[in-house]
Amino acid sequence: MKIPKLEKKRNVTNLHGYELVDDYSWVHQKNILEVLTDKNKLLPEVKNYLENENKYTAFKLKDTAKTQDILFKEIKGRIKLDDESLKFKDKDYTYWSKYEKGNNYANYLRQKHSNKKIEIYWNGDEEAKGKPFFNLGDLEVSDDDKLLAFSIDDKGSELYKIKIRNLSDNKDLKDEIYHTSGSITWSYDSKYIFYSKRDNNHRPRQIFRHKIGTNEKEDLLIYEEKDKSFSCSINSSSDEKYYFISTSDHTTSEVLFFSKDEKIPNPKIIRERQRDILYSVNSWNDELIIRTNLNALDFKICKSQHSDPGSWIDYIPAKKQTIIGGCTFLDKWMIRSEIKDALARIFVRNLKTEKEDELLITDEVVISPSISLSQKDKNTDNIYIGYESPKTPSRTYLYNISTQEKKLVKEKTIPSGHNPDEYIVERINAKSRDNKDIPLTITYHKKTRLNGEAKLLLYGYGSYGSSMYPAFSSTNLSLINRGIIWVAAHIRGGSERGMSWWLDGKMMNKKNTFNDYIDSAEFLIKKKYTGEGNIIGYGGSAGGLLMGAVVNEKPNLFLGMILAVPFVDSLTTNLDHSLPLTAGEFFEFGNAKENKKHFEYILSYTPYHNIKKQDYPNMLITTSLNDSRVLFDEPLKFTAKLRDFKTDQNLLLLKTEMEAGHGGKSGRDASIKEIAFDYSFILKICNLLNT
């Protein structure tokens, strides 16, 4: 089969004294955001190219069909198909969710305390029936337990429609609200819902109140964000007395609040926004509880009075290179988290004595701990605590804080069998070229020999301060069991080692992210975990930017790469201020249109503009037609240009989901099939097909 070719139409842009030549810029339509919700508006020649690439990918991977089937059955075989969530005791009902054996989507159930009758108030598979794509954004029952508000995205574009259902007869009311961000907050009197609406650029910048039973046109606008780089949301307080409107970009935030007793909400600013200052707010025991990085790089917890919300008093002080996390409240206790060196810890504070202790759940060191409430009534000593690790499936206990007794209430079971002792988990540090310690979480089967010959998957992200934690993944076992070592590189750009770790990996320090990944790869080669040319790079979205940048720089390190919905044409996107995410990322990547230094720096690493005449490893690039975060034309252009420049005969494959969004296909089976497809590519290039 012939390699697909995309027509070239030379386009030259002059900016900041530079000439940018782009042969494929024409695929980016002026009405691109309309294409996300109506694929009939896609240029016919672009659609034809995408379909040809899909056919070519299928042709090149036809020998993986048997392996894909094996992997699908294998991965699904590790899932308890009739699993259910932990139960939460509300005022009159207990709520939980459950998958039935043949389901692709969860059912949501409740049981009334008075008569013990179990109701299925949301049947996921019934709701999704007949829809090529189905994503449930939010599902919220009113405070009086009579109404259900839910939001649906049936395209993948993350434009959610909100509807209201009467739970007494399961009939939908006439209420329909369009183009929302998906999140729903009920008023405490169950007469209204609050929601955020997306503008023409798909940015949530307005907060509305909707009265149940009325038309969307009558909804009350209670807040509008004027800064196009900010987006806003609304939520309620833990003490059920206030609502908080949060507006922010990635580095600066502002919070407003109003009382539940205000008939016409009049949001008041808690503290005016200040560049690079982040804060979030809750309300408890007649005080505001504020988590902020004001004069505390790695955050601290403060308190203030409702009457004087801007006067903050330190409560939990900052710690060096330790992220102070959020708080959960009970009447007598506060539970909070900290993160240091990519490992989380949980602390419990007695609110009467202010004595605080770390909550130790297991002897395992490299874990991800968790806590959640077991009931709505805060007059309790009981909470759910749990943990998981790269080798240990999640375990959850009902824990009594006073007695320190814990009872195992849920353990993730692997129906096909799993023995944690078969696996080795290590946490070591690679040394960066500027002498920083880069945490690496390494997982491998105990039979895998560390002689420099093993294949190794190196996963990375490194943007927006997002941190990766050592969690359990039953899907990863399909590679690990075949002798492939799985490594997560906690590179700069995340915040695993404090906020400075993020600051050192963004804006004019962004190249540290790419260098850390390369340095981690070379460290793993030096330590004989793998060898040069045996590494599979894996990253999605901003992690795809990472993959594109490092493969241009050091292609010899890699056997192959998977770039999922990759942000690979980052300069072009940064220059287009009409796109959904661009304005909100000016303080993550820079503003290349207005700032020459930012332009030159982004130009020096953006994957699309730095493709070279050289050999590249095997590459699988995936995207979705309805992705509103990273538009499909980025990986499309990247693939087409790579075909022009690469000097090797290795695989270069582009796969586009024509009915999906940023997160890929919807439904359990479809998601597993996508993973099986990606993994079959990995096994093919590792010569491990049919193993």
> Does the residue 230 lie in any domain?
no
Question: What CA–CA distance (Å, rounded) separates 46 from 28?
Answer: 9
> Does the residue 600 lie in any domain?
yes
Work out the end-to-end distance of the chain between its first and last CA atoms, rounded to an integer number of angstroms. Answer: 27
Asked if 255 and 246 touch (Cβ cutoff 8 Å), the reply is yes
> Does the residue 466 lie in any domain?
yes
Average pLDDT over residues 432-458: 98
pLDDT digits (tens, 9 = 90+) for 493-527: 999 999 999 999 999 999 999 999 999 999 999 99
Lowest mean pLDDT: which of 60-64, 320-324, 394-398, 674-678?
320-324
C-alpha separations of 182 from 126, 131, 488 in Å: 20, 18, 31
**pLDDT mean across residues, the chain:** 96
pLDDT digits (tens, 9 = 90+) for 450-468: 999 999 999 999 999 999 9
Q: What 8-state DSSP symbol labels residue 608?
A: G
Q: pLDDT tier at 227 (50, 70, 90 boundaries)?
A: very high
C-alpha separations of 15 from 58, 86, 218, 507, 572 in Å: 40, 56, 46, 20, 12
Extended strands (E) in 188-259: 192-198, 204-211, 220-224, 231-236, 242-248, 253-259
Asked if 253 and 273 touch (Cβ cutoff 8 Å), the reply is yes
For 308, the 3-state DSSP assignment is strand
As given in the structure block, the two tokens for residue 570 are 């980052």
Q: pLDDT tier at 189 (50, 70, 90 boundaries)?
A: very high
Q: In what order do the strands lie in the sheet with 423-431?
A: 423-431, 437-445, 485-489, 456-459, 535-540, 558-564, 618-624, 652-657
Q: How many residues does the chain have?
A: 691
Q: What is the pLDDT of residue 223?
A: 98
Q: Going by DSSP bridges, is the β-strand pair 160-166/171-180 parallel, antiparallel, or unpaired?
A: antiparallel
Q: Going by DSSP bridges, is the β-strand pair 535-540/558-564 parallel, antiparallel, or unpaired?
A: parallel
Question: What CA–CA distance (Å, rounded) separates 284 from 261?
Answer: 17
Distance of CA 372 to the CA centre of its chain: 20
In one-letter notation, the amino acid at residue 267 is P
Contacts of 311 (CB under 8 A, 6+ apart): 304, 305
Angle at 562 between CA 560 and CA 568, to 5 degrees: 115
pLDDT digits (tens, 9 = 90+) for 113-125: 999 899 999 999 9
Question: What CA–CA distance (Å, rounded) separates 512 from 493?
Answer: 8
Q: For residue 303, is pLDDT > 90? A: yes
The number of C-alpha atoms within 13 Å of 491 and in the hemisphere containing its C-beta is 31
Average pLDDT over residues 224-239: 97
Asked if 363 and 338 touch (Cβ cutoff 8 Å), the reply is no
Question: What CA–CA distance (Å, rounded) separates 151 from 180?
Answer: 8
As given in the structure block, the two tokens for residue 242 are 């206030």
> Does the residue 232 lie in any domain?
no
170-190: b (≥16 Cβ within 10 Å) or e: eeeeebebebbbbbbbbbbee
Contacts of 411 (CB under 8 A, 6+ apart): 393, 394, 395, 396
Average pLDDT over residues 613-641: 97
C-alpha separations of 649 from 316, 613, 652 in Å: 58, 13, 9
Contacts of 158 (CB under 8 A, 6+ apart): 181, 182, 202, 628, 629, 661, 662
Q: For residue 552, is pLDDT > 90? A: yes
pLDDT digits (tens, 9 = 90+) for 97-151: 999 999 999 999 999 999 989 999 999 999 999 999 999 999 999 999 999 999 9
Q: For residue 321, is pLDDT > 90? A: no
pLDDT digits (tens, 9 = 90+) for 31-62: 999 998 898 999 999 999 999 999 999 999 99
Report which of 56, 54, 64 is spatially closest to residue 683, judged by C-alpha positions.
Answer: 64
- Residue 678's H or E segment, with its range, is helix 668-685
- Residue 348's H or E segment, with its range, is strand 343-350
Q: For residue 690, is pLDDT > 90? A: no
Angle at 435 between CA 432 and CA 441, to 5 degrees: 45
> Does the residue 131 lie in any domain?
no
Q: Going by DSSP bridges, is the β-strand pair 192-198/204-211 parallel, antiparallel, or unpaired?
A: antiparallel
Instruction: Quote the domain boundaries for residue 18.
Output: 11-76+417-685
Phi, psi (5° rounding) for residue 279? Answer: -155, 150
| Region of residue 452 (phi > 0: left; psi between -120 and 50: alpha; otherwise: beta) | left
Report which of 172, 119, 174 is spatially closest to residue 148, judged by C-alpha positions.
Answer: 172
Q: What is the pLDDT of residue 320?
A: 87
89-106: b (≥16 Cβ within 10 Å) or e: beeebbbbbebbeebbbb
Question: What CA–CA distance (Å, rounded) separates 22 from 11?
Answer: 5
Q: What 8-state DSSP symbol labels residue 661?
A: B
Q: What 8-state DSSP symbol labels residue 648?
A: S
CATH code, 470: 3.40.50.1820
> Does the residue 185 lie in any domain?
no
As given in the structure block, the two tokens for residue 634 are 């980025």
Q: What is the pLDDT of residue 557?
A: 98
Average pLDDT over residues 356-376: 96
Q: In what order do the strands lie in the sheet with 406-411?
A: 368-373, 382-388, 395-400, 406-411
Q: pLDDT tier at 341 (50, 70, 90 boundaries)?
A: confident
Enumerate the β-bridge partners of residue 387. 369, 395
Q: For residue 616, is pLDDT > 90? A: yes
pLDDT digits (tens, 9 = 90+) for 416-428: 999 999 999 999 9
> Does the residue 162 lie in any domain?
no
Q: Could you tell me what percent of the chain has a pLDDT over 90? A: 98
Question: What CA–CA distance (Å, rounded) separates 679 from 660?
Answer: 20
CB atoms within 10 A of CB 569: 27
Instruction: Provide the number of structural domains found in the chain.
Output: 1
Report which of 119, 111, 126, 213 is spatially closest to residue 168, judged by C-alpha positions.
Answer: 119
> Does the residue 164 lie in any domain?
no
Q: What global pTM score does this model have?
A: 0.96
| Region of residue 332 (phi > 0: left; psi between -120 and 50: alpha; otherwise: beta) | alpha
- Tokens 């048997």, residue? 66
